[in-house]
Amino acid sequence: MSTSVSSDAPAQSFFHRNVELIVAILLGLVSIVTAYASFQSALYDGTMTQKYTVGSNLATEAESLYLEGNQQYVQDAQLYDRLTDLQLDTASDDPALAARAQEKYDVIYFQSVSDDFGAAITWADEQNAADPDLYYSPLDNEDYLDSLYGSYYEQKQLADDTIAKGDTANGLSDRLTLNTVLMAISLFLLGIAAVVSKFQVKVILGGVAIVIFVTAAILTAFIPFLWIG
């Protein structure tokens, strides 16, 4: 009597039979996402350069506005000193001197005093009349100073905000570059997993690669939410 011995091997799982195909698919997926992250990094680099350029131009314009305002401030200070001298002469006991001083005062005031500075002079006169113990200068009037330097402060703030956006874009570009490096490491591990023959080694390398890739992919996905463009 003869006996038969079964030679059938244990059935392999789907994952075990198709591990090479799975690794190949993962290689393609990681490559696509890596290329996307690299592309986004380049875009943020371009945005950074643009914001820095625009911000620098705005800062230059703001500096020009400041110099213009400061020049006008100096001229108004000299003008006010001249008007003050003439105003003192109008109180002279000499009627002829007082009349000439008043005439000069009126002409200079009409020709040289701007509306904003004129309003500041009126404000200072009213304050000095109401409170003789303190001296109020029209050069310290907030509305007058705002007329001279308001445009500068607005332009300077815009320049600072634009440069800050450039800094943000630079930081996001650096993060994307780091994520690209992590994905490249994942590609490297998957590449090794694709060529080794031992199943357990394939699984370990593939698992580590997937963990690294998923982490980098999640970090990349959150980048747009950090942009303040």
Question: pLDDT tens digit string along 121-156?
Answer: 999 999 999 988 899 999 999 999 999 999 999 999
Distance from C-alpha of 51 to C-alpha of 125, rounded to nearest angstrom: 47
Domain ranges of the chain: 19-226
Q: How far is CA 132 from the centre of its chain?
A: 48
217: three-class secondary structure by DSSP: helix
CA-nearest of 99, 104, 98 to 83 is 104
Distance from C-alpha of 114 to C-alpha of 66, rounded to nearest angstrom: 18
Distance from C-alpha of 210 to C-alpha of 216, rounded to nearest angstrom: 10
The total of other beta-carbon atoms located within 10 Å of residue 178's CB is 15
- The pLDDT of 98-115, averaged and rounded, is 91
| pLDDT higher than threshold 50 for residue 9 | no
Distance from C-alpha of 138 to C-alpha of 131, rounded to nearest angstrom: 15
Q: Are 27 and 183 in contact (CB under 8 A)?
A: no
| pLDDT higher than threshold 90 for residue 95 | no
Does the pTM exceed 0.85? no
